[in-house]
Structure 1
Amino acid sequence: MKRPLSYRWARFVIQKWQWILIAWIVAAVVLRVTAPSWKEIAYDGDFEYLPAEMTSVAGTRLVNEAFPGVQSRSQIVLVLGRQQVLRDEKVGLKKSDDIVGLDLLRRLYHRLGEVSWQRAIELGYKSGPPAENPDGASASDRWIQLAREAFDQSIQIDERFYERISEQVPDTPPNFYEPRLALAYWDRGRLLEQWGGAEETVGSDYEAALVLLPDLPTMAVPIGERDLAPWKSLLDVLAWEDSVVGPRLRKRGARLAVLQLSSELAATGNIQTVEAVTKLIDDVTRYSMHFTDPGLQLKMTGSAAIGGETLMGARDAIRYTEWITVGMILLILTAVYRAPLLVAIPMISIGFAVVVSMGLVALLTQGSINGTIPGLDMRVFTTSRIFVVVILFGAGTDYCLFLISRLREEARDSVWPVACRKAISGVMGALMGSAMTTIVGLGMLWIAKFGKFHYTGPVIAICLLVGLLVCTTLTPALLRAFGPAVFWPGRADVQKKTQRSLLGPSPLSSSDTQHGGIWSWISLLLTRHPMAAMLIGGALLIAPGIYGFVNERSVTYDLSSQLNHAAASRQGLRLLANHFNVGEINPVSILLVRNEEVPREELRKDIKELTTKLYGQSGVASVRTADDPLGDFPPTRDMSLFGGDAWRRRALQNHRIAQRYFFSDVAKYENNLVRLDVVMNGDPFSVDTAKQVSQLQEFLTRETSEESSAWHHSEWALAGTTPSIIDLRQVTLSDNRRIKFAVVAAVFAILFLVLRRVGLSLYLIVTVLLSYYATLGLTVLFFRFAYGDDYVGLDWKLPLFLFVILVAVGQDYNVYLVTRVLEEQRRLGWLMALRRAVSRTGGIITACGLVMAATFFSMTAAIWFPPLVSACGFPTQNGVALRGIVELGFALGLGVLIDTFYVRTVLVPAYIALQGKWAARQ
């Protein structure tokens, strides 16, 4: 008779255990050496992975094509101001506050000069002045001109700064930046020398640099060799000292300096940029803040600051999650087994699983990115690592616990090699069934249109497949190698030889005679009163389940709300909102493409008419155009021909912020593409602003559809933070519906293949769905209470990830219990089989549930671990806790606990008992 596959697999593993150990060691070493690190291949950002047909994606693509290399995609805004406690309070800056502002600007403009010069060198600049005709200037010429202007501004501001502090200069050794910015004189002299500037100008700059810092020639690094990587994305600095744009960046109680960046707001490089800006702020605060009265604040905010701090929060979450996950599993395994080897073997196995799976995924992703593996489309993200580590550690430990528990039973009746083989064969079906529900369920994320969902699910599924393979090969090989000593200092009562009597072997194993304990009592109670248990058990979950169902879409897409109040960008945003309209730093860009080329003057005329209509739209605060680059002059504002406003408007039109911004100089778009920036009233991340932008989209659709309009048949697109959030919401809500249906169908199919019972499979799906909605409802209630007035909704990613992981992972323990019931029914009646299965699996499933819940709860560590360590007297660096990760970790941990201690303990056994009673009456 042909043996089942599980038996043949188990026999192979036990017979070839030495070769299996060697194979895994070799695989781990090879992948560790050859695979790239996660950081090298990890992507970030949300908006970049929206479907190509979305409006904001088309707008961003059009901006990149029409304005290559010079357009800002995000900003860091530095706010210098004093906080207003009351809305109508008039808090003004003091005269001495200017000292701090001047110190900040001289450093910023110098950085801009360095970066611009280095960028020009990368584009081919060697020497000589830029072309006099701007339209004919090369790319490098534009940057070398900006570098010259930036150095000039830095030195001018440095002179004013020193005038203010000359009588209070701190008694510290001079350096590049303090008390004078000696390096700026040196850099301008070097630039003018290559430029071909006047010798006396070059000489005076060198002389000034040497007077300020005599050792500067030996200390200064050539511009092309300086480490400016953190500042590489800096395109320009707009500040309140600028004679043209300055008035829009000054208020009575605050000043703004806007760093325009080429990077997307959630680009990985923004971490370095945010850290560099933070250091610059610290340097300014340390050196200049004591020159003025207390109460002045210098804060950072803006889309890139929020995005960068979000990535930093993800980095901290990964670090805390990994270490605390390992620590929690060690504690739980130690409490469960109290045997060193039984703690070590699962940890060694999972360690191999993590190294091999992540190395394999990294290698495959690298091959996908560089095209060496044709047809493969894989990407990984920084936050994907959290899910891989948590789920792999949790599920891997569970698989090991299932195997060891079964081995302890088998070892009582068989010699060690046979016990190992029986244990693997006995749990193989349950492990495959429980693992495949998780793998297939997570794999269903592949059908998502949103890139982060689309790629993350299959990556976790691949890692789980590796984890399953490790736990069914390497773990039993280690157990076979160590022998019964794994139970030391306890013992498993290994049966060296089957005991026989004159009547043959005893039909009752020692394990059969053992009974009692809490799980036997629970199984007895459930089989006596199954209907009451199921009805009462279900009723307790219905109320929070209904609340969760009602609030499933009550989520927030506000990226800034992800950060806690201690985050620098949140503090800066509050200070900014105290004095300015927040929408000014995140305008909505409208791009209109005519179906034919027209003269520039005709375009300007049509833009003027369109601008008048835009001012009439709901929520529009101002419209920035080529004729009005800052939106200072709405159609209703009267302006005399020779007045100051007219002069300023002409100056704005010729300012560098307007050059190549509203009209493209790319041949394809030169005379048919127009760009306008619309500033909305309100927070760019808010739901109200999103509704106003949606109305703006409807207006553009009407305007381009009307035959009488000058923009009839023109194509339009939007770019900016708010349009991207609108598209993100639209695509993720669509993904949620399709993925939920696909996950439920896939998990049901796996359950049916494993259990071969339609009714039972459907019931298991219903219990997990009820568990999901109850968990969601309890999570909403908890964070409403925890955040108080600051609660704006759960993170938008939480419902989908909670659903997929809970529906998939939540079936693990149900499958293990039900397969044990079916196994016991082969030789016992349904009543004894159920009681025996519940009593035998209760303890181990509870331990597994605690392990999985602990790994998920470790995702919340960023919010409580640093304060805990600090309270214990150890030095720690407070990180940025991401609310989304904290909320998801809490929800997943709570959901697993509900599944472990409630669904699997009460609802599933009660249903099986009812089925058994019904079948017995037939």
Structure 2
Amino acid sequence: MLSYLTRRFSHFTVRRAPLIVIAFAVIAIGIFQAAPRWNEVAYDGDFDYLPPGTNSAVAARVMDAAFQQDRARSQIVLVLSTDQQELSDIDLLVGDDLLRRLYHRLSEACYRRALSLGYQGGPIDSAPQETHKWLRRSLSTLDRCINIDKRFYERFIDYLPDQAPTLTEPRMAIAYYDRSQLLSTAPMEDRSPDQDLQDALTLVPSIDQTLQPIEQRKVAAWDSLLDILSWDESVLGSQLSKPGAQLAVLQLESELAATGNVATLTEVHQIVNDVRKYSVQRIANVSGEPVNTVIAVTGSAAVGGETLIASRDAIRYTESITVIMILLILIMVYRAPLLVAIPMLSIGFAVIIATSLVALLAQLSEQQVIPWLDMRVFTTSRIFIIVILFGAGTDYCLFLISRLREEASQAPWVVACRRALIGVTSALMGSAMTTIVGLGMLWFADFGKYHYTGPIIAICLLVGLIVSLTLVPALLTVLGPIVFWPNKIDPTDQHSRSRLTGIRADGVPARRNNLWSWIALKVTRRPGWTLFLGILALLPPSYYGAQNERAVTYDLTSELDESAPSRRGTKLLQQHFDIGEINPVTVLMVRPEDHPREELRKEVQQLTKLLYQQSGVVAVRNANDPLGDFPPDRGMGLLNADSWRRMALQKHRVAQDYFFSNTQEYQNRLVRMDLIMDGNPFEIKTQQQVVAIHQTLLDVTNSEQSKWSESEVYLFGTTPSIIDLRSVTIKDNQRIKIAVVLAVFLVLLIVIRRFMLCAYLIFTVLLSYYATLGITAAFFGWIYGDDFVGLDWKLPLFLFVILVAVGQDYNVYLVTRIVEEQRQRGWLAALRHALSRTGGIITACGVVMAATFFSMTASAWLPPTLEALGFPSSQTLGLRGIVELGFALGLGVLIDTFYVRTVLVPSFVSLMGKFRAKRPARR
């Protein structure tokens, strides 16, 4: 039945070749126009895709419900420091220049937020509660901005450059103008906008004609900004200042990996650059001495934004290098323009159709047009799609063209095209299905990024397979034998051939007297020893790989290259501050019933004493002690200065509505506390301490004697999210590995129909997986040195799934050819003939696939290489996870191509043949 369908399909494809070519052109143009662009529907981040039932996911929903409009989800931290023990007056001057610009941006963001909530004008004190807060914050921030601006100008007057004033230099004229506009729109009884407008016109006379109102300005990059906490705060300043360094913390509403953070981060860097050019360089020029003030940018949103930028760069370099590598390989293999153009054109169609189709489905899913459709695409998913489509698509084309050349030497062109398609369809479908089904098994993962990414790539690969079985033979049929020009179809031709692939310049696999005939002969003469020594050689790296399979890092900052600004900023921050201070663990205690707030405060005090007893806890921030400065054992009298400071902190805007929720659902029920841990939030030790704290709190809620009995406990923050991520992905790894192995094994059984051989093929790819993992871990441990904290946590699973699935392609190609040859000759002759005839083409395919995977490493080596050669190259951020995975996949494919398929598989098949030959026939 399958054979009949294959023949019918091949007949139709060849007979309707012109129609198929036209249809694909129409489909590609139509779907490209209809589909959104990839970056319009792509998501990112990791924590957002944890299962909804995990502790941190539930905590995030509670936080959203309890603190709605004013919850910071990420932050950008600016570190101002010097190499001296104390900050000098010049350092403080530079800091004022930075703060006045930042506070003005905050005032714009707060006013725009009030407008987005429905504010249309009227007195501030009469505005609805939801807008009143933002109008007040906008006004108070402008007041702060102008006060800092005055102080800056007094300090900077001796360094003033001789240039026309602007909106922000030397004075913040825009701040005076904005305050006048705000007071005109939202008047206050005791304040007039007239003097501010006059001051703004004095500074920049044309400001009233040239400056747009706030609501019309293109400042959307700042819309996620909620607040700024800085060293200039009268109450909080001591927490954000240390000898030699000060902090300004920009609190953002967006998640750390939100795509909008790229624009926000770009704007922050622009402000920092403006400060360096205006203040730092001007002071250095006038004084004649270098200014040692350093301004660094870090924080979770900075790391997330730079990770997105690095992903974008990785995609750009990967796509370019992939196309170049495929083009060069095809030129070296065929040296025929049309045989190069047909695969490139066909794969181009496949990429356009596949990516547009997936983007369109993701959009329909997001808009809930199709109720049962659930699909997401990610920024980095495109990298996998590009490399696998180009690699697999080129492989399919190579096999089809190689088989066509064999058939064309014996039959007319149209007949040869039909026979070639019949001959390779089963093998191509079988090999493709191992990859499609293997990647599809990721659908059963709990972690959302695994759950969506695998099926997305499988869909795209299915599109690539369809294109290879329809458009490619259609193009070959339409163009005719001219595709081999300048070579001719002549089976007796002795053109030069590649020693690597065994393919002649015209695409003909070399005859028996080639390298692969020699290898086939050697491998099959002593198959037992070949098999034993072959497996033995892979055991040491496989053992090392198995030992390091779980020794991966979940450190988000280590994903970026050392040169990334956020990593440099983190290192600078750690020199002066505790990293735990900006990465607290948030504890949410939710009582089953309402309690008076004062009673809750007393109960929090008792709970705080318990938390201070836990290992790793440095401070506990709560409603009674907003900064965690006053542990329970620190006694204070009524007249103590610190006692009055604590009372001021409790009334500060940071403490208001922060530790208690004012929403109807959680009012007088929810208590929030922030724990400052003494370790790095990504370290295993810190995670173990947080797990222990969570268990302690659960024990408290399970105790009938406790006032917190039957309360709900949630932990939120970087460390709890990492704990959940590690737990979920470890379980996914175990489940998906089993599913992939079983699924691929079943596909092999259907295609090959030999149980022992299928089981052995699975064993070989598992062996090559662990060997690849071991070599990769050793290689990057050597490359990174002391900076190596482990391979990226996503690498083992993606490497396993792709290598087990893709690695079987070449085994399927070889084994199906052996089965085909056994119909005409004995098992040994069939094995040698199949290995000889497919060796070159399979090697070429393996090199193509490895090259496309290695292109994922381009962002690490291409920019410095271009710079070393004297070519201009834009600075790029390396994404270590992508580089490591690209290296591992490329290495794994090479091991499968040159070792597993060349040594381990033929030797086992040879042993099976000998065993069957010696086994007495059944009567």
Match of 2:673? 676
Give the letter for the 2:847 counterpart.
L
Alignment of 1:597 onto 2:601: no
Counterpart-to-counterpart distance in 2, 1:697 and 1:51: 19
CA shift for structure 1 position 273: 1.2
**Structure 2 counterpart of 1:22:** 22
1:397 maps to which residue?
A: 394
Distance of 1:346 and 1:752 partners within structure 2: 30
Give the whole-Å Cα distance in 1 for the aligned partners of 2:2 and 2:154: 95
Which one-letter code corresponds to 2:865 in the other structure? L
1:166 alignment partner, SS class = helix
Alignment of 1:163-312 (within 5 A): 163-197=154-188, 201-290=192-281, 291=283, 293-312=290-309
Structure 2 counterpart SS, 1:76: strand
Contact 1:412 1:511 in 2 (8 A): no
Alignment of 1:458-477 (within 5 A): 458-477=455-474
Q: CA deviation at 1:421?
A: 0.6
Pair 1:804 & 2:795 matched:
no
Aligned to 1:38: 38
Query: In 2, Cα distance between the equivalents of 1:141 and 1:2?
Result: 72
Q: How far 1:199 sits from its partner (Å)?
A: 9.1
CA drift at 1:705: 1.2
- Among 86, 92, 115, the residue aligned to 1:98: 92
1:165-188 CA-to-partner distances (Å, cap 9, x unmatched) read 112101222211111111000000
Contact 2:741 2:804 in 1 (8 A): yes
Name whichever of 163-172 and 870-879 sits farther off: 870-879
Distance in 1, matches of 2:363 and 2:491, equals: 49
Q: How does 1:671-820 map to 2 (within 5 A)?
A: 671-820=668-817
Local SS of the residue matching 1:667: coil
> Given that residues 189 and 205 in structure 1 are in contact (C-alpha distance below 8 angstroms), is that contact kept between their aligned partners in structure 2?
yes
CA-to-aligned-CA distance 1:74-104 (integer Å, 9 cap, x gap) = 1110000025xxxxxx722222111110000
CA shift for structure 1 position 576: 0.5
CA shift digits 1:708-727 (9 cap, x unpaired):
21111101111111100000
Q: Which residue of 1 aligns with 2:837?
A: 840
**2:114 counterpart letter in structure 1:** A
The alpha-carbon deviation at position 373 of structure 1 amounts to: 1.2
Contact 1:415 1:494 in 2 (8 A): no
Matched AA of 2:597: R
Residue 622 of structure 1 aligns to a residue whose secondary structure is strand
Tell me which of 133, 136, 145 is aligned to 1:154. Answer: 145
Give, in whole Å, the separation in 2 of the partners of 1:49 and 1:186: 44
1:374 Cα deviation after fit? 2.0
1:797-836 deviation line (CA, Å, top 9, x unaligned): 0000000000000000000000001001101111111111
| Number of the residue aligned with 1:639 | 636
> 1:551 is aligned with what amino acid?
N
8 Å CA contact retained: 1:102, 1:158: yes
CA contact (8 A) 2:124 2:188 kept: no
Distance (Å, rounded) in 2 between the aligned partners of 1:850 and 1:637: 68
Residue aligning to 1:365: 362
CA distance in 2, matches of 1:533, 1:259: 63
**Unaligned runs of at least 5 residues, structure 1:** 84-89, 496-509
The alignment partner of 2:111 has SS state of helix
> Partner of 1:54 in structure 2?
54
Partner of residue 122, structure 1:
116
Change (3 A) 1:727 1:200: closer
- Matched position secondary structure for 1:878: coil
Residues 690-735 of structure 1, C-alpha deviation per residue, up to 9 Å, x if partnerless? 1111111111111111122111110111111110000000000000
Name the residue aligned to 1:579.
Answer: 576
Measure how far apart 1:436 and its partner are.
0.1
The aligned amino acid for 1:131 is D
| CA 171–109 in structure 1, closer or farther in 2 if over 3 Å, else same | same
In structure 2, the partner of 1:87 is: none
Shift of 1:638: 2.3
- 1:383 paired with 2:377, answer no
Matched, 1:891 2:888: yes
Change beyond 3 A, Cα 1:331–1:511: closer
- Report SS of the residue matched to 2:601: helix
SS of corresponding position for 2:228: strand
Amino acid at match of 2:16: K
Q: Distance in 2 between matches of 1:3 and 1:806?
A: 29
1:110 lines up with 2:104 in the alignment: yes
Displacement of 1:119 in angstroms is 0.8
Q: Are the aligned partners of 2:509 and 2:841 in contact in 1 as well (CA < 8 Å)?
A: no
Amino acid at match of 1:50: L
Q: 1:695 to 1:513 in 2, by over 3 A?
A: closer
Q: SS at 2:673's partner residue?
A: strand
- Name the SS for the 2:665 alignment partner: helix
Partners in 2 of 1:590 and 1:731 — Cα distance?
21
Q: Give the partner amino acid of 2:49.
A: Y
Q: Which residue of 2 aligns with 1:507?
A: none
Which one of 660, 664, 681 corresponds to residue 663 of structure 1?
660
1:612 aligned partner: 609
* Among 437, 445, 464, the residue aligned to 1:448: 445
Q: CA deviation at 1:670?
A: 0.6
Amino acid at match of 2:914: K
Output the TM-score relative to the length of structure 1: 0.96
The match for 1:348 among 341, 345, 357 is 345
Q: Quote the offset at 1:229 in angstroms.
A: 1.5
| 392, 408, 413: which one aligns with 1:411 | 408
Give runs of aligned pairs for residues 481-560 of structure 1, distance below 5 A. 481-493=478-490, 514-560=511-557
Q: CA deviation at 1:493?
A: 2.1
Task: Give secondary structure in 1 for the equivalent of 2:239.
Answer: helix
**In structure 2, C-alpha distance between the alignment counterparts of 1:589 and 1:868, rounded to whole Å:** 45
Tell me the amino acid that sits aligned with residue 699 of structure 2.
R
8 Å contact kept, 2:660–2:670: yes
- CA separation in 2, counterparts of 1:528 and 1:836? 14
Structure 1 contact 416–494 (Cα < 8 Å) conserved = no
In 2, the alpha carbon distance for the partners of 1:671 and 1:3 equals: 72
- Deviation (angstroms), 1:129: 2.9
In structure 2, the CA distance between the partners of 1:250 and 1:695, relative to structure 1 (3 Å rule), is same
Distance 1:82 1:542 in 2: 53
> Residue 498 of structure 2 aligns with which residue?
none
Mapped partners of 1:55, 1:514: distance in 2? 63
For the 8 Å contact 1:484–1:494, the answer to whether it is kept is no
Tell me if the contact between 2:125 and 2:188 (Cα under 8 Å) persists in the aligned partners: no
How far 1:458 moved relative to its partner? Answer: 0.5
Report if aligned partners of 2:585, 2:675 keep a CA contact under 8 Å in 1: yes
What residue is the counterpart of 1:504 in the other structure? none
CA contact (8 A) 2:21 2:474 kept: yes
Corresponding residue of 1:10: 10
- Once the 2 structures are TM-superposed, how far is the Cα of residue 874 of structure 1 from its aligned partner? 2.2
1:404-463 Cα offsets, whole Å, 9 max, x none, are 111111111111001111110001111011000000000000000000000000000000
CA–CA separation in structure 2 for the residues paired with 1:657 and 1:304: 20
Q: Deviation at 1:492?
A: 2.0
2:504 alignment counterpart? none
Q: Indicate yes or no: 2:427 matched with 1:436.
A: no
What residue number does 1:500 align with? none
CA RMSD of aligned residues (A): 1.6
* Structure 1 residue 200 displacement after superposition: 7.4
8 Å contact kept, 1:130–1:142 = no
Q: For the Cα contact (< 8 Å) 1:115–1:232, is it kept in 2? A: yes
Task: Give 1:336's aligned residue.
Answer: 333
Compute the TM-score of the two structures, normalised by the length of structure 2. Answer: 0.96
